[in-house]
Amino acid sequence: MLDNIETYLFKDDGQHGLIKLVMTADVLEITIAPWDDEKKAKVCSFDKFKLSYISTEEDDLEEFAFPWDIIAVDAKMVKKGKWHFCIHCASVEITFFSEWPQLTQPY
């Protein structure tokens, strides 16, 4: 069952891949798309982004090639307007704080 953030990001479009990731000083921007329909790709921007950590168990650099299989996305409000997120992918886990994300259609 999808939680609130996964429902917001994925809608009813099934399993997604993370196809692009861009980090700046205060914004994390990811592009995600359903595995079966890349035309439904969307950009998700996390403003006032603060990285907590990135974790991986892979030694093989080929495992870092996009797309990354998104296993789950967790979100917990830590105070009004501020959230703690964790994006769990098959090879990488990214944990950070930010505002609730904004979605746009890039294509």
Cα atoms in the Cβ-side hemisphere of radius 13 Å centred on 27: 9
* More confident of the two residues 57 and 90: 90
User: Range with the lowest mean pLDDT among 9-18, 47-56, 81-90?
Assistant: 9-18
pLDDT band at 84 (very low <50, low <70, confident <90, very high): very high
Q: What is the pTM of this model?
A: 0.88
> What's at 60, amino acid-wise?
D
pLDDT interval class at 99 (50, 70, 90): very high
Query: Edge-to-edge strand order for the sheet containing 102-104?
Result: 50-56, 92-98, 82-89, 68-79, 16-23, 27-34, 42-47, 102-104
Q: What is the DSSP string of 45-100?
A: EEES-EEEEEEE----GGGGSSPEEEEEEEEEEEETTEEEEEEEESSEEEEEEESP
